[in-house]
């Protein structure tokens, strides 16, 4: 029996790839790119020009279809308080086409303690819901993987007209993703607020990046014309938020921790709320933190990824809490405008210093206090 030719094997592999992409409900862009790239491999030299032209057309269409200046859910870049359009790479690579296959691999290998197939289904469903709400959205995932969160930082924002408050959301391990930012932003929106999601290192070590959090708070308050700020953290972002809250106390009106916390002492007088999965190992330090703060929390039946797998219950808990906190907070004093440059407050000496200098001094100060909270809480697995 004759062996299949190399071209036949390539066509078969391409067909299987497209079947997997459709099964995982990746974006139409992923299937189209696969077809165009496959054409470059299996077609003859003359027809490869058509495939190359199709590939270039797809890339231009992708760039044209991903806006960078929308008023609702958009991605921009921030450098020394100045906001510009999203970086080119972030507008080309669809986030779901990276995250869903990675989640499928995690599910197959059993790399997470909670149900891998449930997590995969929840991830696919999450991207479907985000697509229905905001359409194609740019993502900071590509520049984060390239170690691109340096002096220029990516910033996701979900903005509403006349917000009563603004939420600053700190992402977890593996960098800033559009999906968890959007999930939290939907709850904030339903409570009457806008959401800003800054980016830090791949590890999500926010306790070493207080300058970016402070800068984002200043930017968000000025852009949204509001007085009230809620700091929200997820996983490693929750560890960072709990560590930074005492130092940012005067700028905050509430602290919300999701699936994580440090062992830091809670700041006095700051309203605190927590949401966690009962089966999550990181719920233990969060429960201790809530008890120390004499604060309320909400537990759901799930593990570390409860924001995805129990999204309705988590969202309802966040909306209920944020609505209670926002009672009496006045709506925005200005119109919804495209993000623009914001000068630091004249009286804020820390924010008037160059960002690199601020980060260096803050890191030196925080390094003297840093304890690896992930090890303290038994966190030694890959989590977002």
pLDDT in tens, 51-93: 566 656 655 555 555 544 344 678 887 866 666 665 666 777 7
* Residue 28 shares a structural domain with residue 59: yes
* Residue 361 shares a structural domain with residue 220: yes
pLDDT in tens, 172-199: 999 999 999 999 999 999 999 999 999 9
pLDDT class for 373, splitting at 50, 70, 90?
very low
Strand partners, 153: 78
Average pLDDT, the chain: 78
pTM of the model: 0.78
Q: Among 301, 383, 340, which Cα is nearest to 76's?
A: 340
Residue 130 has pLDDT above 80, yes or no: yes
* Residue 32 shares a structural domain with residue 54: yes
* Residue 59 shares a structural domain with residue 193: no
| Predicted local confidence at residue 108, as pLDDT | 80
Between 246 and 367, name the one with better pLDDT: 246
| Predicted local confidence at residue 381, as pLDDT | 33
Q: How far apart are CA 251 and CA 255, in angstroms?
A: 11
* Residue 41 shares a structural domain with residue 78: no
Q: How far apart are CA 230 and CA 164, in angstroms?
A: 11
Q: Write out the residue range of the structural domain in which residue 249 sits.
A: 73-86+143-376
* Residue 45 shares a structural domain with residue 82: no
Residue in the structure block whose two tokens are 């984002």 = 216
Evaluate whether 122 touches 309 at the Cβ level (below 8 Å): yes
* Residue 158 shares a structural domain with residue 56: no
| Predicted local confidence at residue 155, as pLDDT | 93
* Residue 31 shares a structural domain with residue 149: no
Q: Is residue 120 part of a domain?
A: no
Q: Is residue 164 part of a domain?
A: yes
Domain with residue 291: its CATH number is: 3.40.50.1820
Q: What is the number of structural domains in the chain?
A: 2
* Residue 195 shares a structural domain with residue 340: yes
Q: Is residue 238 part of a domain?
A: yes
pLDDT class for 119, splitting at 50, 70, 90?
very high
Between 163 and 328, name the one with better pLDDT: 163
* Residue 184 shares a structural domain with residue 241: yes
Q: Among 3, 78, 106, 104, which Cα is nearest to 344's?
A: 78
Contacts with 205 (C-beta within 8 Å, 6 or more apart), sequence order? 236, 240
* Residue 11 shares a structural domain with residue 154: no
pLDDT in tens, 45-61: 666 665 566 656 655 55
Residue 212 has pLDDT above 50, yes or no: yes
Q: Is residue 97 part of a domain?
A: no
Q: Is residue 155 part of a domain?
A: yes
pLDDT in tens, 294-344: 999 999 999 999 999 999 999 999 999 999 999 988 877 666 666 655 544
Between 216 and 9, name the one with better pLDDT: 216
Residue in the structure block whose two tokens are 């509001």 = 226
CA angle 321, 324, 329 (to 5 degrees): 125
């Amino acid at each position: 029996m004759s062996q299949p030719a190399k071209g036949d094997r390539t066509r078969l592999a391409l067909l299987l790839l497209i079947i997997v992409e459709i099964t995982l409900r990746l974006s139409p862009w992923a299937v189209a790119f696969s077809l165009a790239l496959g054409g470059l491999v299996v077609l003859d030299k003359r027809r490869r020009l058509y495939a190359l032209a199709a590939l270039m057309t797809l890339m231009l269409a992708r760039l044209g279809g991903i806006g960078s200046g929308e008023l609702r859910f958009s991605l921009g870049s921030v450098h020394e308080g100045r906001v510009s359009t999203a970086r080119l790479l972030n507008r080309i690579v669809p986030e779901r086409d990276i995250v869903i296959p990675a989640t499928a691999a995690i599910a197959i290998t059993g790399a997470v303690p909670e149900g891998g197939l449930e997590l995969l289904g929840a991830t696919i469903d999450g991207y479907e819901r985000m697509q229905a709400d905001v359409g194609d959205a740019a993502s900071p995932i590509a520049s984060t993987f390239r170690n691109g969160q340096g002096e220029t930082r990516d910033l996701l924002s979900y903005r509403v007209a006349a917000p009563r408050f603004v939420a600053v959301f700190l992402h977890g391990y593996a960098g800033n993703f559009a999906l968890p930012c959007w999930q939290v932003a939907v709850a904030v929106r339903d409570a009457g607020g806008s959401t800003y999601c800054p980016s830090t290192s791949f590890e999500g070590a926010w306790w070493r990046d207080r300058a970016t959090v402070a800068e984002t708070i200043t930017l968000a308050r000025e852009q949204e014309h509001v007085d009230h700020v809620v700091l929200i953290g997820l996983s490693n972002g929750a560890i960072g938020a709990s560590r930074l809250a005492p130092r940012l106390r005067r700028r905050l009106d509430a602290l919300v921790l999701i699936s994580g916390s440090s062992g830091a002492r809670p700041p006095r007088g700051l309203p605190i709320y927590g949401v966690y999965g009962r089966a999550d190992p990181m719920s233990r330090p969060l429960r201790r933190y809530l008890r120390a703060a004499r604060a309320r929390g909400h537990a759901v039946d799930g593990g570390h990824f409860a924001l995805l797998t129990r999204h309705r219950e988590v969202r309802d808990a966040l909306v209920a809490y944020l609505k209670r906190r926002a009672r009496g907070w006045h709506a925005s004093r200005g119109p919804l405008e495209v993000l623009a440059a914001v000068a630091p407050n004249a009286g804020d000496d820390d924010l008037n210093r160059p960002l690199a200098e601020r980060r260096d001094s803050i890191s030196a100060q925080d390094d003297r206090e840093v304890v690896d909270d992930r090890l303290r809480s038994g966190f030694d697995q890959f989590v977002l």
